Chains A and B, each alone.
Chain A
């Protein structure tokens, strides 16, 4: 399933849908790199329609969350579906990576 992109102001939002497996993780990395190259200050990863998140997807999230944070920018996962949310909780990613993750 293609990754849709929406740009507004100095932020970019990527919309993931379906299974974020190894192949989709590669596509995500390409989309993230494109947004970073475009100079985005805030990158939102909208996972409302994602039904599955494997460790390859988690590795991409972690790698670019760190890179953007280190550059003084923001990388935020938004609206995780219940399936994705349980993975983010199970791996301890939710608190730091998801918008409102501490709640």
Chain B
């Protein structure tokens, strides 16, 4: 700095002026730096060490779809990363060499088409093959072909194929659930998905279903055999825990492979257990029995006149196994008498009947987790004839799932528990339960179920699943074809439970239009197809579910005879 000499007063005055300005600037800057410094100290020292409020990176990655596993942890649906290869034809130097190298690793590719793809220099991006395995990717990568690149994609896979397809549903190409539990999980929102997962680890936990993969497979396998053997159109089946409402297996055939969602579009492969509503027929009769017993309209010692068909207006109600005499309650159950059951409902009265069916939930749409649920079809006018037909399961259509969950209530001590496809404990299910009938009535229904398996229409199941003390009710419902009930189009069903003295599991088997066979002596009623199928299923799943067999002396004798034959 050069200071002009002389004129001291002027100089000192000028210096003073400059100094003041400088001081102002210094003050301004110091203030700024002091603020910044103070903030730094506050953020790093005060908050960081004293208040322990450490800054951490926020988690921004999208939560992955949770895996879906069965109740024992068997993997049913998972996300895997797959690699897709693409090419940029403009960057490919030697097309022939590239084609040769790629087809050497992927021999299924058509080399002519590939050559055409790679020769087109107008395009800068062509897929060569989507979704290849990591080993193939590594092989191709090591070849180092210029102009060939890889992209990572997320793919939802269902390693068990068709198993439990109707429960799982499927996802679209953007990995969004559009059916079944996949859709349910999406509809619950990100919060629910996050609750399954651990955000710190960027990994989600699995969604546990109530389904037991082994039981599901046994049911699907036996139903598939039955469809072939009885030349049926379709079949469906459910196994449910009687005390928790958990569904261990739900099968509907024909089914589809969720890995190929297009196969699910076929109208034949709808879920017959929840998406379809049916007149279930005689398997609804136990509901009428329970109602009549519970309201005191009859006792187990009551008798009903089944000598003549029941005439309501112009309609006449007949029996399939007509006995033409006065029947006891037990006989009405084992002969599956329409007349007797109708008289029970009339003894309760139209309003009482309606009130009981409403309490059982038959008038409302049952909605477990699956989004595919159909509303029941209930006649608008409910007269005497409606009550009479509804008593034996005709004139109103419900989801088979509703049928089995009410049956569970009839035999488990009277507790109606909403069914679920998610794993659930005994305590939480007891909290959801409503008392439908008295425990003593439930005991009577259990006895009737067992009686029907020992000496009634469900005998064949008890013979096949020997030792597991099963019980149940059969149903052979005539289907409506062109507006009329058809004698040759049947929907056969069996609803049962085991072990009958303390039912743990309820089972429903339905076979759609089974044909009469030589082996069934020309019969096609439920006792000849649905019942033995259910018996085979129970014989397979009871050991898996830990139900111990127990034999009566007569059964031991029969087993001994069988052994001698072998």
B and A form one assembly:
no
B interface residues, Cβ below 8 angstroms from A: none
A interface residues, Cβ below 8 angstroms from B: none
